[in-house]
């Protein structure tokens, strides 16, 4: 019998394994870079609005030529940390100029709408059209989450250098709550770099936390703050919150004094809300201001009647359909789909976010505030 020998199998070269591993690592890195580039080029991932610490205001927004808000709306954040164009220094404009500074929160910031759709931008446009011989500049200092205290600090540290002729203070029923506290997360340089990638943003918003509105990610302390604010929203003028409103009155009076001493004038603008239209008999800030000494003497503009004129027929139509307005104006998408789009488009407040105004709502505010300023003689500056 002829014996045969099996061919010997040579062991793999030890030098080939590192080369294969390096090749795989390189391929993975190249793939990740390609995905990162694609996400940044064709989506909003990695370009969300971010906060940064501010010693006076607690926090402001990080300057960005292009970022995205919670609804995916493109934003620009100027060098001062606010959603607006860059402002020229006082006295640098040619000819007479009326400079108006607006303090506020997310409504004035323009949550959910384009920059040109905000009531401040529309107000500037209409005032320029009415008085073309004089330039009008409306500077928007509104930031989401800002309370009265932060608005007052904003005036002292950010608005005052711009020497406005008029200061508009846009308030709501929760402006008296304690100032928001924001603490930046402390992380290593590598961890921070990873968190700023589009890939990480995509994972957080579409994989880890589920699909939701595009925008900045919220940490646990911010979510706790949201719950506290929600409690105040439900009963803003309950006896338990009386101390907050006493502080509100005192701080508003102090701010009015500061504005007056700077040669300007403060106008209070208590903004209407969907809950006011839904329950017009409940207490609301605009009505209470008339009884609060000493700030009852301050100039103020109340646009609630204009809001009711639009919303009352819409709410009546919803009720006649046998629908619950509190379900229609909510995050319940199925309930929102029950109302005809023709009627839904008339709403001043977003159906999915009734705490904020639609473009139609901002247009109403601009018209009413413009008319109110004219009637109170503020065009004489």
| Predicted TM-score of the model (pTM) | 0.81
Report how far residue 354's alpha carbon sits from residue 377's, in angstroms, rounded to the nearest whole number: 33
Phi, psi torsion values for 372, nearest 5 degrees:
-65, -40
pLDDT 10s per residue in the chain (381 long)?
Answer: 455 555 555 555 555 667 788 888 878 778 877 876 776 666 656 556 778 888 888 888 888 887 776 667 888 999 999 999 999 888 777 767 899 999 999 999 999 999 999 999 999 999 999 988 888 999 999 999 899 999 999 999 999 999 999 999 999 999 998 876 665 555 566 665 666 676 666 665 555 444 334 444 556 666 776 777 777 878 999 998 999 999 999 999 999 999 999 999 999 999 999 999 999 999 999 999 999 999 999 999 999 999 999 999 999 999 999 999 999 998 776 767 788 888 899 999 999 899 999 999 999 999 999 999 999 988 765
User: What residues have CB less than 8 Å from 75, skipping those under 6 apart?
Assistant: 49, 64, 66, 67, 68, 69, 83, 115
pLDDT of res. 230: 76
pLDDT of amino acid 212: 38
CA–CA separation, 236 and 96 (whole Å): 42
Supply φ then ψ for residue 177, to 5 degrees.
-65, 160
Query: What's residue 25's pLDDT?
Result: 82
Q: CA–CA separation, 80 vs 372, rounded Å?
A: 29
The torsion defined by the Cα of 191, 197, 199 and 203, in degrees rounded to 10, comes to 60
Q: Answer whether 69's CB lies under 8 Å from 49's CB.
A: yes
Q: 201 near 299, Cβ under 8 Å?
A: no
Pairing of strands 166-171, 135-140: unpaired
189 vs 193: CA distance, rounded Å:
6
Give me the pLDDT at residue 263, please. 95
Locate the domains of the chain by residue range.
Answer: 87-176+236-380
**Two tokens at 80?**
């001062």
Question: Whose CA is closest to 354, among 342, 364, 344, 363?
Answer: 344
CATH superfamily of 87-176+236-380: SGNH hydrolase (3.40.50.1110)
Tokens of 165: 């002729």
Q: Where are the beta strands (DSSP E) in the chain?
A: 51-54, 58-61, 64-68, 74-77, 97-103, 135-140, 166-171, 265-270, 299-300
Q: What pLDDT was estimated at residue 152?
A: 97
Sequential DSSP letters for 304-324? HHHHHHHHHHHHHHHHHTT--
* Alpha-carbon torsion (136, 139, 250, 287), positive or negative: positive
If you ran DSSP here, which 8-state letter would residue 357 be given? B
Amino acid 229: pLDDT: 73
Residue 340 pLDDT = 85
pLDDT of residue 95: 67
């Amino acid at each position: 019998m002829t014996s045969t020998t099996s061919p010997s199998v040579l062991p793999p070269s030890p030098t080939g394994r590192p080369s294969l591993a390096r090749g795989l690592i390189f391929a993975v890195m190249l793939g990740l870079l390609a995905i990162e580039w694609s996400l940044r080029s064709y989506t909003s991932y990695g370009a969300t609005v971010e906060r940064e610490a501010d010693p006076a205001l607690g926090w402001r927004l990080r300057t960005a030529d292009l970022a995205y808000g919670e609804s995916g709306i493109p934003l620009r954040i100027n060098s001062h940390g606010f959603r607006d164009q860059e402002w020229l220094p006082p006295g640098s404009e040619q000819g007479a100029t009326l400079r108006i500074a607006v303090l506020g929160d997310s409504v004035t910031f323009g949550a959910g709408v384009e920059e040109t759709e905000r009531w401040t931008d529309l107000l500037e446009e209409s005032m320029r059209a009415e008085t073309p011989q004089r330039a009008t500049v409306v500077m928007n200092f509104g930031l989401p989450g800002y309370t009265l205290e932060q608005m007052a600090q904003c005036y002292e540290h950010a608005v005052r250098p711009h020497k406005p002729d008029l200061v508009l203070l846009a308030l709501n029923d929760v402006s008296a709550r304690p100032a928001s506290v924001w603490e930046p997360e402390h992380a290593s340089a590598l961890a921070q770099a990873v968190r700023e990638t589009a890939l990480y943003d995509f994972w957080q918003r579409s994989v880890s936390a589920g699909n939701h509105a595009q925008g900045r990610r919220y940490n646990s302390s911010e979510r706790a703050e949201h719950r506290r604010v929600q409690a105040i929203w439900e009963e803003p003028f309950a006896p338990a919150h009386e101390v907050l409103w006493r502080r509100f009155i005192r701080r508003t009076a102090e701010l009015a004094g500061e504005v007056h001493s700077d040669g300007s004038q403060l106008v209070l603008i208590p903004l209407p809300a969907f809950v006011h239209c839904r329950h017009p008999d409940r207490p609301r800030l605009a009505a209470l201001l008339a009884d609060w000494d000493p700030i009852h003497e301050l100039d103020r503009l109340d646009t609630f009647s204009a809001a009711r004129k639009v919303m009352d027929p819409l709410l009546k139509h919803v009720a006649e359909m046998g629908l619950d307005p509190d379900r229609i104006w909510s995050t319940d998408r199925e309930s929102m789909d029950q109302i005809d789009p023709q009627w839904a488009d008339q709403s001043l407040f977003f159906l999915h976010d009734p705490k904020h105004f639609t473009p139609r709502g901002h247009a109403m505010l601009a018209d009413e505030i413009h008319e109110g300023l004219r009637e109170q003689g503020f065009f004489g500056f």
